């Protein structure tokens, strides 16, 4: 089955800890994205990547980092510099510049 997988489903972060969220796609899509969604709010773009080994900051990149070493994978690290990380994190991919964007099932990050 083609699709996007995210792991883990739930993630707990302690103060001062960096955590990494996984995102893998087998849709052969060039572009991949990370969004953050807070309760009752829309999706806010953290980072996106149009192609392997290249990525751009979105609207709320501070406190986050990404890498794009493989076409299929776009992991997101939430660093200790992100002071309010509790949110629902969504990974998405698309085949091109204006094509349909598909979403993974999401990772819910909670702070202990």
Partner 1 sequence: QKEVEQNSGPLSVPEGAIASLNCTYSDRGSQSFFWYRQYSGKSPELIMSIYSNGDKEDGRFTAQLNKASQYVSLLIRDSQPSDSATYLCAVCRTYKYIFGTGTRLKVLA
- Rank residues 43 and 111 by Cβ distance to partner 1 and give the closer one: 43
d(CA 15, CA 44): 23
Write the CB contacts of 60 (distance below 8 Å, at least 6 apart in sequence). 36, 44, 45, 46
Minimum distance of partner 1 from residue 14's CB (angstroms): 24
List contacts with partner 1 (CB under 8 A).
31, 33, 35, 40-43, 45, 48, 50, 90, 92, 94, 97-106
Minimum distance of partner 1 from residue 68's CB (angstroms): 14
Residue 25 exposed, middle or buried by CB count within 10 Å (0-12, 13-18, 19+): buried
Minimum distance of partner 1 from residue 71's CB (angstroms): 16
- Rank residues 25 and 94 by Cβ distance to partner 1 and give the closer one: 94
């Amino acid at each position: 089955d083609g699709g996007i997988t995210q792991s883990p489903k739930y993630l707990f972060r302690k103060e001062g800890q960096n955590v990494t969220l996984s995102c893998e796609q087998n849709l052969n899509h060039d572009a991949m994205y990370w969004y953050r969604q807070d309760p009752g709010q829309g999706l806010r773009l953290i980072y996106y990547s149009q192609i392997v080994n290249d990525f751009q900051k979105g609207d709320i990149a501070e406190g986050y980092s990404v890498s794009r070493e493989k076409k299929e994978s776009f992991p997101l690290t939430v660093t200790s510099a992100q002071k309010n990380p509790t949110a629902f994190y969504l990974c998405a991919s698309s085949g091109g510049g204006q094509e349909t964007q598909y979403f993974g099932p999401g990772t819910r990050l909670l702070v202990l």
